[in-house]
Every structure is written in structure tokens, then in C-alpha cells.
Amino acid sequence: MIEEGFTPAVDRRTVLKTGALAGAFAALSGITLAQDAAAQDSDRADISIVVVSHGQASDPFWSVVQNGVAQAGEDMGVNVQYQAPGTFDMVAMSQLIDAAVATSPNGLIVSIPDADALSASISAAVEAGIPVISMNSGSDVAAELGILTHVGQTEYEAGFGGGQRMAEAGVTNAICVNQEVGNAALDLRCQGFTDALAEAGGTVETVAVDLADPTGAQQRISAALTSDETIDGILTLGPTGAAPALAALTDSGQLGEMNLATFDLSPEVLDAIEAGEMLFAIDQQQYLQGYLPVVLLTLYNTNLNTIANPVLMTGPGFVTQDTAARIKELSAAGTR
């Protein structure tokens, strides 16, 4: 279990709708999984779904997304392919989407870190009659692109919640370490964090790093801390970004003293939280971001089920020192 995530302006109707939606998923999945095996084979064996994300399966975050995709494909009895460019490359990603559209799959799942770069390829899929679901990033543009629904969290609100928690911990001057400046989802996280800390009278500076150069990323974080000794908080936007921050704080002797938090989970992040070296991790449950779109596209193809609104129920939640130990085993298994 994790603590309740930050959910601004959520009224009782929204909570009830989310609960009903979760129940509907369970019911619909139960119905389809209970079908006769022969019928399932004939109904689903020829269903082909392609996933194109901006994140590589070698990344600890995206490996969990891929695990969710693979498990959903197995559970639903459909054929699923997971594809991603070798690096954060929107041209390469749009080419992967175009190539997927050319195969006329029964469904397409995409992340949308840069709508300007990807909208033409996604629109071509929709115009070709391919049902498309976005996941992880793209909640703000899914409807205008003709996408069936979006599965994920709202990035700005997640960053805002992180900023509120940092402010409660006494942080007044922080840095936001962004490993993909220009990725709309990550930029929104930093913006939400900045706005929340500003409301509490604090300030935030964004520090851009290149995680393809871990040593260089560590040096940039160290340089930021050295140049301003009033910095008392660091937010990183993923576990790969947390690693150089942890290394920088270890080298400076500030590990466990500097307020550090991150987005997303990994065994190393959970170890740091449990040891009191990190305040919290913002958990968006990326396994569900991979799993649920496959289920939804299977139901669309077999039963014409659609979801009218974005499925913004995977996060954010907050993993703290009180809850880290219970999540570690699941994270090591690749499902959290």
C-alpha cells in the first residue's frame, strides 16, 4: 500500500467515479477472462496491438511499463509488441509510429512527450481507423488528437504535490533536475513543483542534465549545490535522475541531510527512502500504464467498450520511509 496521492479539487463525485471505473475494469476483465478458451482463441489470437513509447525497456521505469504490457498481452490472449527509439528522439519515435500504422494493427498505444513532434503520426493512425490510446504522457492533448482515452497521472498536479511536501519539510530553495528538457511531461512536473514551492514562499531552479553521461550529470548537480549554499532541496524526475543526485550528495557529505525526493521507483530509490536518505518518491504505478491500455484495446476490439474520460487513476501516490519496505519486493519483481 502507498499513501494517498495529492489530488487537488477532487470532490466526492470524482472519487465515486474513480471507484466505479476501477470496478468496471475488474468486472470487464473478469468477464473476458472467463470466456471459453476456444472462443478466446478465435476472438483474440489475431488481435495485434503495438506500443510505441519514448522510454527504453532498459530504463528501470520503462522496464516496468513493458512488464505490464507483456502481462496484459498474456492475460488478454492478444499479440503485443513494445517498441521505443534507442534514445529520447522524437523523429525516431514518429518513424516507429508511422511504421506501426503501416502494419494496420488492431490498436496502437503511444506516449506523447512532445505533441508538436508526434501529432502528425498519431493523427495518421486515427485517420486510418486504428484505435489509439495514450499512456504516461499526453493527457492534455489526447482528446484533440482523436485518441480514445489516456491512462496515467496528471504531471503538473504530481509535481505540485511534491512541492507541497517539500515545503512541509521546510524546503525554501530547491533545484529540479530535468533529464529531458522539452519533454512536456517532465517540464510540467518541474512547473508544478516550482509553483507549489512559490506558494509557500520558496524558489526553484531547473538544472538540465544528460543521463547518457552519468558523471557529467553528477557534476552538474554538484556544481549547482556548490554555487548556492542556500539550496536545501532537490527533486529529480525519475530514478535514473536520482542516481547522480545520490552520488553528488554522498561525495559532498550531505546524504541524509539534504532534502531529496524523486519521481518513480526503483530498488535503489526504495533503499534510499528506507534508509532516510530520501524523503519520498512520487509513484505513478507505471505497471498499470502498460497494462490497462492493452485491456482497454482488447475490450474495444471484442466488445466495442470505450472509456469517455481520461483514466487519471494510476497516480500520484507517495512512497515514504513508512511504506518503502512493503514496496521493495514488488519493485524488485518488476511490477512497481
| Residue 230: other Cβ atoms inside 10 A | 7
Q: How far apart are CA 56 and CA 278, in angstroms?
A: 25
In the block, which residue shows the cell 506523447? 112
**Entry field: residues in the chain:** 336
pLDDT at residue 25, rounded to an integer: 52
Q: How far apart are CA 63 and CA 153, in angstroms?
A: 18
Domains and CATH numbers, the chain: 35-153+284-305 (3.40.50.2300), 155-283 (3.40.50.2300)
Q: How far apart are CA 5 and CA 43, in angstroms?
A: 38
pLDDT at residue 217, rounded to an integer: 96
The helix/strand/coil state of 133 is strand
Q: Where are the alpha helices (DSSP H) in 59-199?
A: 60-76, 90-102, 115-127, 155-168, 184-199
What b/e string do you get for 283-304 counting C-beta neighbours within 10 Å, with b at 16 or more? bbbbbbbbbbbbbbbbbbbbee
pLDDT at residue 310, rounded to an integer: 78
Residue-by-residue pLDDT tens, the chain, 336 positions = 334 443 333 333 333 344 445 444 544 555 444 444 444 555 798 999 999 999 887 787 899 999 999 999 999 999 999 999 998 899 999 999 999 999 999 999 999 999 999 999 999 999 999 999 999 988 889 999 999 999 998 889 999 999 999 999 999 999 999 998 888 889 999 999 999 999 999 999 999 999 889 999 999 999 999 999 999 999 999 988 999 999 999 999 999 999 999 998 888 999 999 999 999 999 988 999 999 999 999 999 999 988 877 787 667 789 999 999 888 888 877 888
pLDDT at residue 336, rounded to an integer: 82
Is the CA virtual torsion 99, 102, 107, 113 positive or negative? positive
Partnered with residue 81 across adjacent β-strands are 50
